[in-house]
Amino acid sequence: MSVPSLRIAVAARRIDPLAPHPPGVYVDHLVRVVRGLPLAGDATPRPIVRTGHFTLRRRGRRVELGHSLRPEQLDNDLAGLLAEELFAPGWLCGSDIFERVFTGVVRSCVDGALPAWATFYDNTLARVRESWQLPAPARHSSIAGFAPVYRRTLDLVAPGTVLDMGSCFGFLPLLLAERPGHTVTATDLVRGTMSLLGSVARARGLPLETLACDAARVPLPDRSVDTVTVIHVLEHLDPRHGDAVVREALRLARKQVVVAVPYEDEPTAAYGHVRCFDDDRLAALGRRTGHRFSVTSHHGGWLVLDPH
């Protein structure tokens, strides 16, 4: 997915999103995040910066961050907020720190691991649905940006078994699993994220399984599912790896493969993009598979492949 929080970095594999932490606090060897401003009444060291939502300090190698976010504000637009107030101005940098701070804000905002993440998921999915009904907000919102992509995917995927590749937080698999007649498997390289998604799905009583694996090497038999979805994944992969993912999707699908990519003039490095697509590039990808395909545009490009 095409925002910093949605493509969890390789370094973030070391983060356990469900690990125990004291109420209102997240702590690891690089980051300490606390609920409330200023940081637990500590006057030293002096803040590096105070923003609309955060107070930032450093203590040795550790980043210390206080925040004023309330549970009702906790959703996936947190990624944009962190980027706007702390990372774009250069106060913080690096994907590892980003993911640890992101996790820290979620975990410190609501006490308890599963209640914190459940709040994050509930708010995000509610705002996705709101975006389907309301005009796009004036400010940038990753949730509003992805809502039409999710809507289009739901329209294209018929009831049956679905495997979603590169699921990350798994908002799309959860939306699919909520629909009658869908049984969903979410996959991602990051084991901790799949463990989190599995816990959230079980708490919601949804027919969703998770699998930690490379999308180019999914440990399932040929033609295991009706539909494979590859939604905003290929722009993060070099052409060879991306083609391998599409071949794997075709191996696994009985009925269709649905691929979606953003259209950009230049890869957005801040989002982890390494290449761009347009209609011609997407059609060339379809031709390389040797299968029947169609290409359409709707908030980016869509390639639908027939695996037969």
Q: How many domains does the chain have?
A: 2
The parent domain of residue 220 ranges over 157-305
258 and 189, same domain (yes or no): yes
Half-sphere exposure of 3 (CA within 13 A, CB side): 20
How far apart, in whole angstroms, are the C-alpha atoms of residue 50 and residue 65? 10
pLDDT tens track, the chain, 308 positions: 433 333 333 344 478 999 999 999 999 999 999 998 765 556 667 889 999 999 999 988 899 999 999 999 999 999 989 989 998 899 998 878 988 999 999 999 999 999 999 999 999 999 999 999 987 665 678 899 999 999 999 999 999 999 999 999 999 999 999 999 999 999 999 999 999 999 999 999 999 999 999 999 999 999 999 999 999 999 999 999 999 999 999 999 999 999 999 999 888 776 778 999 999 999 999 999 999 999 999 999 999 999 99
How far apart, in whole angstroms, are the C-alpha atoms of residue 11 and residue 189? 12
How far apart, in whole angstroms, are the C-alpha atoms of residue 243 and residue 255? 19
Contact 199, 130 (CB under 8 A): no
226 located within any domain: yes
Question: Distance from first CA to last CA of the chain, Å, rounded?
Answer: 28
Q: Name the burial class of residue 266, with classes exposed (0-12), middle (13-18) and buried (19+) by CB atoms within 10 angstroms of its CB.
A: exposed
- The CA R_g of the chain, rounded to the nearest whole Å, is 20
What local confidence, expressed as pLDDT, does residue 13 receive? 47
51's tokens: 């923003």
How far apart, in whole angstroms, are the C-alpha atoms of residue 84 and residue 6? 16
User: At which of 85, 115, 145 does a domain end?
Assistant: 115
Residue where the block lists tokens 């379809």: 286
Angle (deg, nearest 10), helices 191-204 and 113-133: 80
237 and 292, same domain (yes or no): yes
294 and 213, same domain (yes or no): yes
138 located within any domain: no
What local confidence, expressed as pLDDT, does residue 7 receive? 38
162 and 299, same domain (yes or no): yes
What local confidence, expressed as pLDDT, does residue 135 receive? 74
Q: What is the CATH number of the domain that holds 236?
A: 3.40.50.150
214's tokens: 């490379």
178 and 299, same domain (yes or no): yes
Q: Name the burial class of residue 79, with classes exposed (0-12), middle (13-18) and buried (19+) by CB atoms within 10 angstroms of its CB.
A: buried
Contact 289, 306 (CB under 8 A): no
DSSP secondary structure letters along 178-195: TSTTEEEEEEES-HHHHH
